Structure 1
Amino acid sequence: MADRAPTEFDGHPVAPATRAFLRRAHRFLIDGEWAEGSAGETLASSDPATGLPLATVAAGSPADMDRAVAAARRAFDGGWSRTGARERTRLMTRLARLLEARAEVFTEVEVLDNGMPRAIAALTVANCVEMLDYYAGATLSIEGRTTTPPPHVTALAEALTYTVREPVGVVGQIVPWNVPLSTAILKLAPALAAGCTVVLKPAEETPLSALLLGELIIEAGFPPGVVNIVNGRGESVGAALAAHPDVDKISFTGSTEVGRKIVIAAACNLKKVSLELGGKSPVVVMPDADLSLAVPGVAMATFFLQGQNCMAGTRIFVHEAIHDELVRGLAAFADGMVLGHGLDPATQVGPLISAGHRARVMGYVHGGEAAGATRVAGMAQPAGPGHFMRPVIFTGAQPHMALMREEIFGPVMAIQRFASNDIEQIAALANDSPFGLSGSVWTRDLSFAHKLVSRIRSGQVSINCHGAIGTNIPFGGMRQSGWGREFGREGLDAYLETKAVTARL
């Protein structure tokens, strides 16, 4: 139970406010109140670095989701959709300041619930504050335009035609376990700025930061029902949210497999759908690349967040002229990375999210060896408590191997050698995937880099860096990596409808 949550984790103490939060009862936020689950079921949250229990969280049912959607509909129809931009800005700014003031607690909760290193958790909390401030300001930029009225109207009288932007309505938001707080804020902030109401379903593995955020939402003064949070399993409450006839839009981040199910469920009322799905991002390293940048940059493109991120650069295409030198550098970097509890400031690689996920990732490692690839890093895997895994690097990967075709979502890098300098052939290698989320090109020849970037079919491609995302920069995928964009102005547009109005004067 939550009241037995330890005060130290692998010898690392946490703040008293973090301990107090873990010991609280963890229920649902529905209509501005903390509510019990109708089925009386619970989910256990544990520290993936130690296996120690963190908290017990109520698990929802479809009936609980019905209550949450009804509350969101009442709030939307009851006035939130017509709340002035300045009031929405005020509330969101207040939420940003509350989050900023409690950054340490949110950082520790993210580390304990997810396993990520503390430095990454602290950065994500700071980014969440920035996102709230960004979209709080964006409320004042929601505007339409005037245009030429239709001729069959102006033939009879003067007329005025203009457009207005209106909120989509009730939005269901389903977030993953790899960056739980950041993804929740990334979806909540533009939805609230647009005037939508929200039902948020956290990942069942990492619900705690969303529930802590719920406390701040109440404290900030948001009207009841504007934000509702229901924990639970994807196959029950997640499915109920996606198929709910009174939800106007679903925003989902997760696997491509589940994304397909979301699309099918959304067909019941043809609700709008935004999907940020899987990736198998290409990293192209040319012979003139600056290896002092490329070695750490390519390594972290794969191993950031233990490889548990959708934009991970896991397909590495290396020109034969520098192949051996780059591989030596990458292997040394990977084997030198420090594994440990995320609360330890020296930790560079935390645990994977669960024992089952670690077994799945190791299955790809064994499969890669069986297929003929050569493991050059990560030979000795750790034993003991926690779901730890040393970063693994394969050379000799071939296009048909699962290492190169499937999203592994773990610290596994596959390197394929190439000899061509032909830009079309190199682009064909990079595009040989059903995914198209991210990617990067490493070269000193910026003319070549820009030409290659224009040929890579991904929603985001970086030059001499990887995963260069930011609050103001649109992010999303092509092909099976998803529909739509998040971040930036495009992230706000996803929660707005355009209405055209013509008035005969």
Structure 2
Amino acid sequence: MLADTGTALPTDDVYSRNYIGGEWVFPAAPYEFEIRNPADSTITAVVPLSSRNDVNRAIAAAQAIDKGEWADPERRVQLLMALLDRLNALEPELVKLQCGETGLSAEDSAAALRATLAVARALVFEVEGRADCRQQGASGHVLSWGLPLAEMLTSVFATLVRGMSVVVKPSLRGPLSPVAVALAASQVGFPPGSINVVQGTGVDVGAALIGSSLLDELHVHGNPGTLAQARRAEPRTGVPLRTLSAGGNVAIIYPEIDDRQISAMAAKAAVGLRIHSTGGPFGQTTVAVHDSVAPRALEALVSEVGVVSPAPLPSEPLRRVAMSRVQRLGADGGRTMVGRPIPDDIEHRMGWRMPPVVTDLGNAATAAGRLNSAGEPLGPVLTVVRWTSHDDLDQLFAGQRYRAGYASTWGEGFADDRITFGAVARSLSPLEIACVGTLPLAWAGL
């Protein structure tokens, strides 16, 4: 067992272990993986590559948790709020950690952290107050690479609020934030077994969680292949599956909009593009603009997005997938308005960067098919579509990805009651809606 050193954030010794049953333990097999900063490829930590044996041990620890303290709603809320207070006090350290894990700038990392903590605080009151959400048992969580801290404090945190214990498999590309949250939880008195973190590959740890029949529920955030694997396993395991499709946040622009509002919309869209992880809840991938104001909106978007710096992605294969999607959109008739040559960096081989892209997909009749066939949104890519009626909007945003997303609305002239999103708040971006404590419940995996 690793002694509690009282350090603010994990040390190298902590990162090299799993957190199971309240103890920091080495995996069953001694294999390791280097975690690199996506911005410059520097090594930030070395984490273990675990196996099915470690997953089974973690599930057993989650099931064996002392039900007394954790089952008491008042005590559980006290612990959850103490964890959030602890994380809030660690903001400077967590901002730096998130920068190294995702490649975000310090400014964007701080904004994402504050919004994430606001989401988590809202969940304590929103979920705990619902009697239908209170349950016990062990929940498995397979996280994606995009914004790991946000994922840890949305779906995982919401599960803890309901009284369940968790087994978390972080992304191999983004495991540091979940480990930091687990350490903070141990420091404020979470009972052993309430949070368990098992690091490793999707082939080993992810597949073990997806294929386990010992869990009471399973949450999977990932690429289409991982989601498909989880859906195939559900009938065999009998474990209820909850998934969150990435990339569902949009802005909808109505015809009666002035130039000041257009400028504000474009500026917020650029922020969403900088926080480019479509796996997290704060990025924005699509702007649906009424055809009558499309030229003005496109001009403003091109101006704002054109100065956004190239965004780091965690691997060259992911960048190829992102660029391939842009190419497919263009081949289907999309018009690239912003886009620069890819800045290869030989010295920083892991710092694969992708320039921001704005693609005009044209009218809604053709854009809906293009959006669906192009695949999962990745990287700093903003698609613009033109609409003229509510039927166009219904067609564009009929997919599950958008039902799990958020829409900001701009301008006047139409009611938006036919738009089926988790939440709609005029002129508030995804970051802002989180900070005021309103959010789509789909972000919590409910």
TM-score by length of 1: 0.75
**Which of 407, 416, 421 is matched with 2:385 structurally?**
416
Contact 1:242 1:250 in 2 (8 A): yes
Q: Which runs of 5+ in 1 are unaligned?
A: 1-15, 145-164, 340-348, 477-484, 495-505
Contact 1:282 1:430 in 2 (8 A): no
Judging changes above 3 Å, is the alpha-carbon distance between structure 1 residues 462 and 112 closer, same or farther for their aligned structure 2 residues? Answer: same
SS in 2 for 1:435: helix
Structure 1 position 136, deviation (Å): 5.2
Tell me which moved more, 399-408 or 27-36: 399-408
Matched letter for residue 381 of structure 2: V
Structure 1 position 354, deviation (Å): 2.2
**Which of 133, 151, 154 is matched with 1:186 structurally?**
154
Q: Which has the larger radius of gyration?
A: 1
1:247 maps to 215
CA distance in 1 between counterparts of 2:213 and 2:395 reads 43
Matched letter for residue 410 of structure 1: G
1:455 and 2:418 matched: yes
Judging changes above 3 Å, is the alpha-carbon distance between structure 1 residues 388 and 281 closer, same or farther for their aligned structure 2 residues? Answer: same
Matched letter for residue 307 of structure 2: G
Judging changes above 3 Å, is the alpha-carbon distance between structure 1 residues 314 and 81 closer, same or farther for their aligned structure 2 residues? Answer: same
Judging changes above 3 Å, is the alpha-carbon distance between structure 1 residues 221 and 380 closer, same or farther for their aligned structure 2 residues? Answer: same
Aligned length: 426
CA distance in 2 between counterparts of 1:395 and 1:97 reads 43
SS in 2 for 1:379: coil
SS in 2 for 1:401: helix
2:342 maps to 381
1:445 and 2:412 matched: yes
SS in 1 for 2:11: helix
Judging changes above 3 Å, is the alpha-carbon distance between structure 1 residues 90 and 235 closer, same or farther for their aligned structure 2 residues? Answer: same
2:81 maps to 93
Structure 1 position 112, deviation (Å): 0.2
1:308 and 2:278 matched: yes
SS in 1 for 2:383: strand
Render the CA deviation track for 1:106-143: whole Å, top value 9, x for unaligned: 11111101112222322333344445555556797465
Contact 1:169 1:247 in 2 (8 A): yes
2:36 maps to 46
Alignment of 1:107-256 (within 5 A): 107-131=95-119, 133-134=121-122, 141=129, 143=131, 166-256=134-224
Contact 2:334 2:359 in 1 (8 A): yes
Judging changes above 3 Å, is the alpha-carbon distance between structure 1 residues 121 and 388 closer, same or farther for their aligned structure 2 residues? Answer: same
Structure 1 position 196, deviation (Å): 1.4
2:52 maps to 62
CA distance in 2 between counterparts of 1:433 and 1:188 reads 24
1:34 maps to 24
SS in 2 for 1:376: strand
Structure 1 position 486, deviation (Å): 4.1
Q: Which runs of 5+ in 2 are unaligned?
A: 1-6
1:427 and 2:377 matched: no
CA distance in 1 between counterparts of 2:124 and 2:383 reads 41
SS in 2 for 1:316: strand
CA distance in 1 between counterparts of 2:131 and 2:394 reads 41
Matched letter for residue 434 of structure 2: G
Structure 1 position 401, deviation (Å): 3.3
SS in 2 for 1:237: helix
SS in 2 for 1:306: coil
Judging changes above 3 Å, is the alpha-carbon distance between structure 1 residues 267 and 379 closer, same or farther for their aligned structure 2 residues? Answer: same
Render the CA deviation track for 1:132-160: whole Å, top value 9, x for unaligned: 5555567974658xxxxxxxxxxxxxxxx
1:357 and 2:318 matched: yes
TM-score by length of 2: 0.84
SS in 2 for 1:324: helix
2:306 maps to 335
Percentage of matched positions with identical amino acids = 21
